[in-house]
Amino acid sequence: MSKANPTTSHSLAERHEALWLRLSALHKDLAALAGRRSGQTVGAAIRISAEALLADCAPFADGQKLPVAAEDAADLLVQLGQALARLDAYEAQHSFWDNGKKCRSWRVRYGELPVQRLRPELPPPPKTYDGEDMRSKLATMTKRRWQAAFEDGFRAGQAARRGPPDPVRATPPAEIFSPDTPRIRRFD
């Protein structure tokens, strides 16, 4: 029985990817070896590493018991192929195509994680159109408006303290603005 959207953990997803790479490399090497020497037994080092990799596949086998590594190269090749198929089935069940990132992603708890072994070409984050700079521009604009309002209020307060302008001093003499004289102020 499987869930509708099964999730996995970050560590299990990373473990799966590392195991898949090591298992596929051993499968590839053993395929070349079995092609040259069919029917022969494999060396102890290959058999021990195959047993270790098959044992590491246990969390991804859905409770199925994995057999002991075979001694024959062809039989061991079949076992490694079956383990790779189980890993692929686990990946298909716990991953999905992410349209935003344009890659396959693991369905992990609290988010998603791109499948790294597929070397996803993640697009760069969308441009913010100077979004980071907009905050400082907004702060500068607000500060300027506040300073302008303060200056206007300060000037209005000074004008109120001085009182209304003196009508004698406020009106310039008529001869200064007559059309016959040039527009030069006299400092008498």
Q: What is the pLDDT along the chain (188 residues), one digit of tens a residue?
A: 455 568 888 888 899 999 999 999 999 999 888 877 777 888 889 899 999 999 898 888 877 777 788 888 888 999 999 999 999 999 989 888 888 878 888 888 888 888 887 776 766 766 766 666 777 888 899 999 999 999 999 999 998 888 887 766 666 555 555 666 555 555 55
Instruction: Say whether both 18 and 103 belong to one domain.
Output: yes
5 domain-assigned: no
Residue where one domain finishes, among candidates 118, 139, 154? 118
125 domain-assigned: no
Can you spell out the DSSP letters for 2-63? --SS--B-HHHHHHHHHHHHHHHHHHHHHHHHHHHSTTPBPPHHHHHHHHHHHHHTGGGTTT
Q: Which domain holds residue 114?
A: 10-118
162 domain-assigned: yes
108 domain-assigned: yes
Residues 113, 116, 119, 121, Cα dihedral to 10°: 20
184 domain-assigned: no
Q: What is the pTM of this model?
A: 0.59
Task: Give the burial class of 7: count Cβ atoms within 10 A of its Cβ; 0-12 exposed, 13-18 middle, 19 or more buried.
Answer: middle
Instruction: Say whether both 114 and 135 belong to one domain.
Output: no
Phi, psi of 145 (to 5 degrees): -65, -40
Instruction: Say whether both 85 and 162 belong to one domain.
Output: no
